[in-house]
């Protein structure tokens, strides 16, 4: 009874000496007016959630103007954005990682340059989604990326990662979860391509592998985390074999690259049709055993 609960014990994550194992999860926050982080209130927000030796993951930061899918989200593609984040990072006395993000087809024309179609692995539109307050969100018909355009998007992530380090962040997390652009490539419900980025499992995961390699080459794998959500079907994006998909990404991309941490969403509980009770049909343990670095679980306590 005298020992500390495991969550409150120190942990060494690569070169980072963490005082405990509780992590601030990344969120989608719409408080960065003009897509520029607001130092006054955002410094307060993160300082209120910081502890000495704790790990914070920032709200999702768009890697380009076209990466946005929500109003007033922060970005990391301009010098002005970098300078604004510097003031916030300087105020936070904790280990601080920036989450970098592209929403892909989860967007509407008002968030796209000149009202253009959002990009994706596919030209299939996200069906209307009903939010928790009953509001119906609609999305634009996306444009399928041409094969020769994909390296440009890979480079956007590399530049955003470089900008995050310029802003003072300790590292970056690639948001490859929640039905956004990476999921649209990786999961077989949305990837209907017939080029080198579609069809086989390896091809569907190629875009993720290329971005991980580019970002690791820019900032170092020891400053890189990757967030995955194999079991979620958010934004009409699911996979027929999510466990094989996630293990492929771990074995073929994350482990060989030496990624610092893998951040994965817990599977949602389901109602058992036989007895009506809540059950958890999947677990993250196989992925925890497979990944060689630090493993972070989010949600589903």
Task: Verify whether residue 46 is a known catalytic residue.
Answer: no
Q: Which of 33, 45, 46, 180 is labelled catalytic?
A: 180
Let me know: does 298 contact 284? Beta carbons within 8 Å: no
Strands (E) across 91-187 are located at 95-101, 119-120, 129-130, 136-137, 143-144, 171-176
Eight-state DSSP code of residue 149:
G
Question: DSSP of 100-118, one letter per residue?
Answer: EE--TTS--GGGSGGGPPP
Give 294's strand partners: 261
Eight-state DSSP code of residue 137:
E
Residue 71: other Cβ atoms inside 10 A: 13
Nearest to 139 by CA among 172, 106, 162: 106
Let me know: does 246 contact 287? Beta carbons within 8 Å: yes
* Residue 262, H or E segment: strand 261-265
The set of catalytic residues is: 180
């Amino acid at each position: 009874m005298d020992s500390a609960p495991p969550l409150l014990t120190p942990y060494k994550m690569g070169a980072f000496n963490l005082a405990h194992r509780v992590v601030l999860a990344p969120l989608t926050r719409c408080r960065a007016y003009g897509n520029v982080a607001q130092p006054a209130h955002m410094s307060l927000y993160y300082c209120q959630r910081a502890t000495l030796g704790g790990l914070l993951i920032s709200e999702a930061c768009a890697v380009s103007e076209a990466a946005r899918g929500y109003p007033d989200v922060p970005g990391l593609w301009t010098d002005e954005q970098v300078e604004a984040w510097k003031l916030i990072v300087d105020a936070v006395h904790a280990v601080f990682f920036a989450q970098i993000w592209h929403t892909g087809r989860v967007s509407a024309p008002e968030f796209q340059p000149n009202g253009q179609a959002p990009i994706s692995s596919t030209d299939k539109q996200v069906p209307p989604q009903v939010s928790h307050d009953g509001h119906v969100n609609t999305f634009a018909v996306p444009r399928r990326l041409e094969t020769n355009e994909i390296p440009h998007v890979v480079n956007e992530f590399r530049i955003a990662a470089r900008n995050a380090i310029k802003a003072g962040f300790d590292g970056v997390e690639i948001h490859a979860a929640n039905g956004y652009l990476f999921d649209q490539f990786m999961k077989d419900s949305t990837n209907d391509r017939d080029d080198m980025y579609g069809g086989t499992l390896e091809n569907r995961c190629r875009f993720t592998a290329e971005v991980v390699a580019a970002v690791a080459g820019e900032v170092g794998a020891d400053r890189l985390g990757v967030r995955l959500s194999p079991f979620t079907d958010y934004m009409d994006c699911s996979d027929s074999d999510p466990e094989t998909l996630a293990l492929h990404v771990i074995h073929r991309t994350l482990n060989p690259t030496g990624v610092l941490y893998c951040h994965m969403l817990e599977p949602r509980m389901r109602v058992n049709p036989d007895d009506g009770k809540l059950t958890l049909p999947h677990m993250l343990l196989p992925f925890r055993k497979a990944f060689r670095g630090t493993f972070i679980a989010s949600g589903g306590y």
